[in-house]
């Protein structure tokens, strides 16, 4: 079997046993990239030269003494809003087009400590603001299952790269669904960890109370494997939580779902849900029941509010986070400005794309004098209601199952002129971020048009093990995992 077909877990086993060298792995992946990347456009930057240098150095070292770490020699991609020391980190923005971070994000430093190989940096909606990668300053990525469709976003490049087998696994970030929605659209697995489980240090901040880094992988055990590598407390991120990291691979030993109570929220099965998605998700719920889970109908009454709450809180936080892009210390600077004020105003006008500007404007408006209480205060209070919904539900059930998205992948250009419609496509993933909970998206079927459909499993805070366990048992009992796209 070609190397690029293997999962992270399988590849790691072969590498550990000395059946394949790091250089062979890197060569196989760059061959694959050269074949499909012109169509998929998943990467902003390919790190070909450094990947080969790293691989050769690893092979030389291992010849002397064969001792490997879990990710030694593993070819990964990293979303381009996560800082990589010495490798461009653009956030798919003109503002950071030439930015080379002088340090690694903690998640990346952890991968580096385990001797991973960086294949490249993946495309995203500018500053992670969007649901399709169409907001990238460098052009959109494509869905490997259908090149006329979007891969989702904002981590669309990472999801497309994993689906098109251009990397064995990737890191993404999720503020309102940016890992799970593209994973669902591209037929791969995406895990958003509990807020605070993975350090945000070195993740270019969008909405600090919602952002979280997580894995995008071929299957559930790879997600567990990669989460293991990046999870844990970090003194550099004061919101990361000081709590021991369990052995996630151990959680995968279960064979059935007996004793597990899974809730189905009625609010997620209403108008606007695509019939193919509903069919696939209902079938998946039936399968979870066959596997021994007790299925209960539950209610999350504030579901309707999530998008509105999100677009107040996320934009408010973004408007202050993005104030740092002023053309002074790093990033783009407008030319020929007469004073400092004009330097700020023109740098930001020329450096940011329209969606980023729209969100800065919205965020500034809801925080401005006279509107703060009516919008920001109100949204924070309704956020409490969203959190309370989940706390009440998790007294009754151990997991919540929903569709990951209301529809399969949409066509390029279909929603790009209507920001509100684009925002509403995140309706099933957003409330999880507002409550800081962990959730996974994994394949559960295909639409009549042949596009992947994603199932979402939401767990209690810090109970990633329960999610991974249920997702793993479901994945093993179905065939969805074995399908991969033919890129054409």
Residues 246-265 that bind other proteins (CB under 8 A): none
Interface residue with other proteins, options 35, 114, 299, 337 (CB under 8 A): 337
The tokens of 92 are what? 């798919």
Distance CA 163, CA 300 (A): 32
Residue 121 binds other proteins (CB under 8 A): no
Q: Is 416 designated active site?
A: no
With binding defined as CB under 8 A, does residue 50 bind other proteins?
no
Binding mask 200-239 for other proteins (x = CB under 8 A): ---------x-------------------------x--xx
DSSP for 115-155, written as a single string: T-EEEEEE--SGGG--SSSTT-TT----BTTBTTB---SST
Sign of the C-alpha dihedral computed for residues 396, 262, 219 and 409 taken in this order? negative
Q: Is 365 in the site for other proteins (CB under 8 A)?
A: yes
Closer of 117 and 343 to other proteins (Cβ): 343
Q: How far apart are CA 21 and CA 56, in angstroms?
A: 9
Give the residue, chosen from 42, 55, 312, 471, that forms a contact with other proteins under the rule CB under 8 A: 312
Choose which of 220, 362, 444, 473 interacts with other proteins (CB under 8 A). 362
Neighbours of 446 (CB within 10 A): 17
Looking at residues 149 to 188 of the shown chain, list those that interact with other proteins (rule: CB under 8 A): none
Tell me whether residue 48 is one of the annotated catalytic residues: no
Give the one residue of 331, 403, 406, 438 binding other proteins; rule: CB under 8 A. 331
User: How near is the Cβ of 388 to other proteins at its closest, in Å?
Assistant: 9
In the complex with other proteins, the residue whose CB is nearer, 34 or 368, is: 368
* Least distance in angstroms from the C-beta of 150 to other proteins: 20
Least distance CB 385 / other proteins (angstroms): 6
**Alpha helix segments (H runs only) across 273-412:** 275-290, 306-321, 340-351, 354-367, 372, 378-396
CA distances (Å), origin 148, targets 145, 195, 414, 468: 9, 34, 10, 32
Report strand pairing: 213-217 vs 169-173: antiparallel
For residue 425, state whether it binds other proteins (rule: CB under 8 A).
no
The span from the CA of 409 to the CA of 206, in Å, is 24
Q: Least distance (Å) from other proteins to the CB of residue 381? A: 4
**113 forms part of the interface with other proteins (CB under 8 A):** no
By the rule CB under 8 A, 438 interacts with other proteins: no
Active site residue 354: no
CA nearest neighbour of 114 among 58, 166, 51, 194: 58
The continuous run of DSSP H or E covering 470 comes out as helix 464-477
Q: Check residue 244 for interaction with other proteins (CB under 8 A).
A: no
**Interaction of residue 299 with other proteins, rule CB under 8 A:** no
Stretch that binds other proteins, among 2-10, 138-146, 267-275, 364-372 (CB under 8 A): 364-372
Q: How far is the CB of 134 from other proteins (least distance, A)?
A: 16
Minimum CB distance to other proteins, residue 284 (Å): 28
- Of 120, 436, 438, 454, which lies in the binding site for other proteins, with binding defined by CB under 8 A? 436
Q: Which residues contact 242 (CB under 8 A, 6 or more apart)?
A: 233
Nearer to other proteins, 9 or 423 (CB): 423
Cβ contact 133:141 at 8 Å: yes
Instruction: Single out the residue of 20, 100, 147, 273 in contact with other proteins (rule: CB under 8 A).
Output: 100
Among 41, 79, 192, 254, the one annotated catalytic: 79
Query: Could you give the C-alpha distances from 319 to 168, 346, 360, 465, in angstroms and in order?
Result: 35, 17, 4, 35
Q: Does 308 bind other proteins (CB under 8 A)?
A: yes
Q: Which of 147, 205, 245, 387 binds other proteins (CB under 8 A)?
A: 387
Angle between helix 354-367 and helix 306-321 axes, rounded to 10 deg = 100
Taking CB under 8 A as the binding criterion, the range among 163-171, 223-231, 309-317, 465-473 that sits at the site for other proteins is 309-317
State which residue, 99 or 446, has the beta carbon closest to other proteins.
99
Beta-carbon count within 10 A of 247 CB = 10
Min. distance of Cβ 31 from other proteins in angstroms? 34
Residue 5 contacts residue 165 (beta carbons within 8 Å): yes
99 binds other proteins (CB under 8 A): yes
| Total of chain residues touching other proteins, rule CB under 8 A | 71
> What 3-state class would DSSP assign to 46?
strand
Of the candidate residues 139, 368, 396, 450, the single one contacting other proteins (CB under 8 A): 368
Which member of 147, 205, 241, 249 binds other proteins (CB under 8 A)? Answer: 241
d(CA 230, CA 61): 24
How far apart are alpha carbons 281 and 277 in whole angstroms?
A: 6
Distances (CA, A) of 168 to 7, 204, 276, 411: 6, 24, 29, 26
Q: Is 311 in the site for other proteins (CB under 8 A)?
A: yes
State how far Cα 46 lies from the chain centre: 19
Q: Taking the complex as a whole, how short is the minimal distance between the CB of residue 358 and other proteins, in angstroms? A: 6
- Identify the bridge partners of residue 265 per DSSP, sorted by sequence position: 298
**Active-site choice (92, 132, 141, 154):** 154
Catalytic positions are 79, 154, 178
């Amino acid at each position: 079997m070609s190397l690029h077909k293997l999962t992270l877990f399988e590849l790691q086993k072969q590498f550990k046993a000395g059946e394949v060298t790091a250089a062979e792995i890197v060569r196989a992946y760059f061959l694959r990239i050269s074949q499909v990347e012109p169509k998929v456009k998943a990467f902003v930057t390919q790190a070909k030269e450094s990947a080969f240098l790293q691989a050769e150095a690893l092979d030389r070292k291992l010849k002397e003494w064969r001792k490997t770490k879990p990710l030694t020699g593993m070819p990964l991609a990293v979303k381009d809003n996560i800082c990589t020391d010495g490798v461009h980190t653009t956030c798919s923005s003109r503002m950071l087009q030439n930015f080379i971070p002088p340090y690694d994000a903690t998640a990346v430093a952890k991968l580096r400590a385990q001797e991973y190989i960086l294949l490249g940096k993946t495309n995203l909606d500018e500053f992670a603001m969007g649901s399709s990668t169409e907001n990238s300053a460098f052009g959109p990525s494509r869905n490997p299952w259908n090149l006329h469709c979007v891969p989702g976003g904002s981590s669309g490049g990472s999801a497309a790269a994993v689906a098109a087998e251009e990397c064995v696994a990737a890191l993404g970030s999720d503020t309102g669904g940016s890992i799970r929605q593209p994973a669902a659209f591209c037929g791969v697995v995406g895990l958003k960890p509990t807020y605070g489980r993975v350090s945000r240090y070195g993740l270019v901040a969008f909405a600090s109370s919602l952002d979280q880094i997580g894995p995008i992988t071929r299957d559930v055990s790879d997600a567990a494997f990669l989460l293991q590598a990046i999870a844990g407390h970090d003194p550099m991120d004061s919101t990361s939580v000081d709590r021991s990291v369990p052995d996630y691979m151990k959680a995968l030993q279960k064979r059935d779902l007996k004793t597990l109570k899974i809730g189905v929220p009625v609010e997620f099965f209403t108008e606007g849900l695509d019939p193919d998605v509903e069919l696939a998700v209902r079938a998946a719920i039936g399968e979870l029941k066959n596997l021994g889970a007790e299925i209960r109908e539950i209610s999350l009454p504030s579901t309707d509010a999530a998008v509105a709450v999100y677009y107040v809180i996320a934009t408010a936080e973004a408007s202050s986070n993005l104030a740092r892009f002023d053309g002074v210390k790093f990033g783009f600077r407008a030319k020929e400005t007469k004073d400092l004020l004009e330097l700020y105003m023109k740098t930001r006008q020329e450096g940011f794309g329209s969606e980023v500007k729209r969100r800065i404007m919205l965020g500034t408006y809801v925080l401005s004098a006279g509107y703060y209480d009516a919008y920001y205060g109100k949204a924070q209070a309704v956020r409490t209601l969203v959190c309370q919904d989940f706390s009440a539900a998790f007294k009754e059930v151990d997991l919540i199952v929903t569709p990951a998205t209301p529809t399969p992948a949409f066509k390029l250009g279909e929603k790009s002129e209507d920001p509100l419609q684009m925002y509403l496509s995140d309706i099933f993933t957003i409330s999880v971020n507002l409550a800081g909970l962990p959730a996974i998206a994994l394949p559960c079927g295909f639409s009549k048009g042949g596009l992947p459909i994603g199932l979402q499993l939401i767990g209690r805070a810090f109970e990633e093990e329960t999610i991974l366990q249920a997702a793993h048992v479901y994945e093993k009992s179905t065939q969805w995992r074995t399908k991969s796209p033919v890129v054409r």
